[in-house]
Amino acid sequence: MTGFVRAGLALIRVGLWVWVLFNVAMVVWVALNSVKSSQEIFDNPVGLPGTWVWDNFATAWTTSGLGAATVNSVLLVIVSVVLIMALSIPAAYAVARLGGRSTGPVTMFFAIGMSIPFQAFMVPMVLISVGLSRVMIEWVTGFWDPRITVALFYVVLSLPFSVFVLIGYFRSLPGELEEAAALDGARAFRTFWQIMVPLAKPGITTVAVLNGLSLWNESVIVLMLVPDERKQTLNVALLNFYSNMQYTSNWGGLFAGVVIVVLPMIVTYLWFGRRIVSGMTQGIGK
């Protein structure tokens, strides 16, 4: 039986390495084609560029509106992640230290929120967006930016995952620290902010980075709720660029646009990769 287990583990390792090498090869292939002319992409799709066409990036940045879309994406992701963490950190800590029979059902509530398919929210999201815009324009401010609605939905849809992961992480922290802080006269909020939050920094960093990567990749909500191309995000601008590309055949610019979209995610994950793995594993089993 041990031999079969070892053979199975070896096959899994081989499969994982094949998958990793395939993805790395795809990234390299896209990067090389981003500095080729459209003709060279068809003539030499897998080789090194004969002429390095760096103007593809300038073309993708200007003609497709990726510059304004990048600003929209960065602002939406930063604002949404800040709000997500501001709500999920105290909520997860409260549930983790709730105790008694209420902890299990409350945790299950957030787990159920993670399991609901996104398609079930699409029609309600559109109706809520239209109603919210009408109320704000007619009764409150006189104007409304649909990007605010997108940010609100980003926060709401990301909270179940964020709270669920942080609950497990806060449970992994020793409760004796809180007892010692209480004996020293520290109030509950001070204990939470000055002791527990710094200790939970790896888990908080993990959740923040995963949410940032997820929201950076999101495009369906923006397509549904933001009709103005000037207010759309980077992924949607790239889709629009692809639709226009069929008339210009600027394949090099399209690959350059893909690099612009993907590169921030790759750099972020390489920078925080170990922290993400550590934060996801330390709370397991709690």
* Per-domain residue ranges of the chain: 54-282
pLDDT at 246 over 80: no
Range with the poorest average pLDDT among 91-100, 138-147, 230-239: 91-100
What's the alpha-carbon Rg for the chain, to the nearest Å?
A: 23
pLDDT number for residue 148: 93
Rounded CA separation 9/188 (Å): 47
For residue 200, the model assigns a pLDDT of 87
Q: What is the mean pLDDT of the chain?
A: 84
Residue whose entry in the numeric block shows the structure tokens 């709401």? 156
- The pTM score is 0.85
Contact between 72 and 146 (Cβ < 8 Å)? no
The two tokens of residue 27 are 């990234």
Dist CA 262 CA 224 (whole Å): 22
Output 119 or 99, whichever has higher pLDDT. 119
CATH topology of domain 54-282: MetI-like fold (1.10.3720)
Q: What is the DSSP annotation of 156-218?
A: HHHHHHHHHHHHHHHHHS-THHHHHHHHTT--HHHHIIIIIHHHTHHHHHHHHHHHHHHHHH-
* Cβ burial 72-105 (10 Å sphere, 16+ → b, else e): bbeebbebbbebbbebbbbbbbebbbeeeeeeee
Q: Given this model, what pLDDT does residue 285 score?
A: 46
Interval 44-73: pLDDT, tens: 888 888 888 888 888 888 777 788 888 899
Using pLDDT thresholds of 50, 70 and 90, give the confidence band for residue 207: very high
Pull the structure tokens for residue 72: 């929209």
pLDDT digit string, tens, across residues 149-183: 999 999 999 999 999 989 888 888 887 777 787 77
